[in-house]
Amino acid sequence: MKRVFCLLSIMVSIVMPSFSQVQFGYLSYSTVKKQMPEYTQAQNNMAALRTKYEQEAQRGEDEFQKKFVEFLQGQKEFPTTILQKRQAELQNLMDNGLSFRNQAQGLLAEAEKEAMGEVEKKLNNAILAVGVELGYAFILNIDENACPFINPVVGVDVTNAVKRKLGLEVPEEPIPQAEITPIETPKAGTDVAPVQVSPAQETTPVENVPEEH
C-alpha cells in the first residue's frame, strides 16, 4: 500500500506542467512519533500494565501448582468423591488461567491501540498544520523505504517543521561560512621581482593663443 501511494505521488509530480507549481513534504512517521514525550509515556504505561497482568496470571499459576502438588501427595488416600472434587478444582484453575491470559492479551492490545491512537492523533494534527501552512500538496511517510527516490525539486523534508509544531527540540543547522583562499607566501630563497611603478607623465601646459581680430 505504501509503495502504491509513493508511485501515485511520483505520477502526480510528473504530470504537473511545472515542478514549481506543486511541492510535497516527506518524513519518517515512526521516527518523529518515537521522539514524542507522549509516546514514551504511553510505552511506560503499557509496560506497567503488562507487569500487573503478568503478576496476576503468575499468582493463578502458582495456586495451580500448589494444589497440584497437594493432589499428587494425597491422591492415594483420598476417597473417590474427594479425588474427583480435587481433579475438578485443578481443571477449573487451569481453564481460568488460560482464559485470563487470553483475555489479558486482548485487553493489552486494546489499551495499546487506544494509547497509540492518542499519540498518532496529535502527530497527525501537527503534520496537517505544517502541510497547510507551507502549502504542500501532501506529506509522504517514507517508513520502511516506501519511496527510495524523492526529487528534491518538489519534495521537501518536513521533519524539523513537524517537530517544531510538536514542541520537540530541533538541532540548530550550522551556518555555512564563506571559504577564504589563503594567499601563498613566497618560499625562502626565492627571488621576487620588484614591482616597478611608472611615474606619472608630466603634462605640458597649453599656452594661451591670442585671438585673431
DSSP characters over 150-213: --TTTEEE-HHHHHHHHT---PPPPPP----PPPPPPPTT---PPPP-PPPPPPPPPPPPPPP-
**Share of residues in the chain with pLDDT > 70 (%):** 71
Beta-bridged to residue 90, according to DSSP, are none
Model confidence, pTM: 0.69
Q: Shortest CA distance to 100 belongs to which of 66, 67, 58, 65?
A: 58
In 3D space, the residue among 141, 196, 132 whose CA is nearest the CA of residue 6 turns out to be: 141
pLDDT in tens, 127-143: 999 999 999 999 999 99
Q: At residue 182, what are phi and psi to the nearest 5 degrees?
A: -65, 145
C-alpha cell at 189: 630563497
**Is the four-CA dihedral 28, 33, 36, 40 of positive or negative sign?**
negative
Q: What is the pLDDT of residue 171?
A: 81
C-alpha cell at 10: 511520483
Does the pLDDT value for residue 187 go beyond 80? no
Show the cell assigned to 15: 504530470
pLDDT at 189: 58
What pLDDT, on the 0 to 100 scale, is given for residue 164? 96
Residue 24: which residues within 8 A CB-CB, separation 6 or more? 9, 13, 136, 137, 138, 139, 140, 154, 155, 156
Mean pLDDT value of segment 69-84: 91
